[in-house]
Homo-oligomer: A and B are copies of this chain.
Amino acid sequence: MDDRTAVLENGDSRHNDSHVLDIYPLGCYYFGSTDAAALKNETLADRALRMKANYDAYGMRNCVAGVIVVELFKHPHLLLLQVQNTIFKLPGGRLRPGESDVDCLKRKLSSRLSSGEDGRGPEWEIGECLGIWWKPNFESVSYPYLPPNIQRPKECTKLFLVKLPASRRFIVPRNFKILAVPLCQVHDNDKTYGCIISGVPQLLSKFSFNIVES
């Protein structure tokens, strides 16, 4: 008997039913590329100035990011974007004024992961919010809580589970790379992936992954 099954049977079913996540082998998906996306080519100092001007004009920056899991070698892998061979990112971005979290995430997933597909792929299925990170300042440190005595945080990023269908095409701008990174490599590795991504395995830990063989 598989010990993992035993745990689930042993538990109170109320607490487990919604925590089974179907994941599909990486081979179920097609990965292609298209024209490079326009990137802001700015220094960190310029970026901080832009953030500050945006804050003064629009208030706190609200962002969303998608957590997408596939299976490879019987282990869950997280889909990450790598920008110009340097930083790793979860797909996502900034909310437009009045836009909901879910609408923004669908828009960003389409522009980053189905680029040029014009909505011909399946809809994106957005699941629950897994975690929220706050930036008290315009610099780059984020915290998974609103730090004490911070009344006016500058950025809030919400991570949502994205449930993939049994197949789909990913079409990514040429200056982005899409990678499937094993959870065991991401976990606790904030030097490489940053604090938000390296904490994703913990946020996913309550799920029992159901690997759907194709």
Contact = CB atoms under 8 A, between A and B. Distances in A.
Interface string A138-159: 0000011111110111001010
Given A3-B60, A95-B10, A145 B206 contact: no
A60 B15 contact: no
A144 B132 CA distance: 18
B206 A129 contact: yes
A29 to B, nearest CB: 20
Contacts of A74: 148-149
B7 A62 contact: yes
Interface stretch (A38-46, A114-122, A170-178, A181-189): A181-189
**Most B Cβ at <10 Å: residue of A11, A131, A187, A203:** A11
Given A131-B205, A131-B206, A199-B202, A76 B11 contact: no
Given A131-B206, A195-B188, A203-B202, A148 B10 contact: no
Interface in A49-83: 59-60, 62, 73-76
Contacts of A195: 188
A61 to B, nearest CB: 10
Contact of A182 (B100, B148, B151, B153): B148
Given A102-B15, A184-B145, A184-B148, A130 B10 contact: no
Contacts of A158: 7, 11, 206
Contacts of A12: 100-103
A16 interface: yes
Contact of A204 (B15, B145, B206): B145
Given A15-B160, A199-B202, A206-B129, A101 B184 contact: no
Nearest to A128: B15
**Most B Cβ at <10 Å: residue of A4, A145, A149:** A145
9 contacts: A7-B158, A10-B101, A16-B129, A132-B205, A144-B187, A145-B187, A158-B206, A188-B195, A199-B202
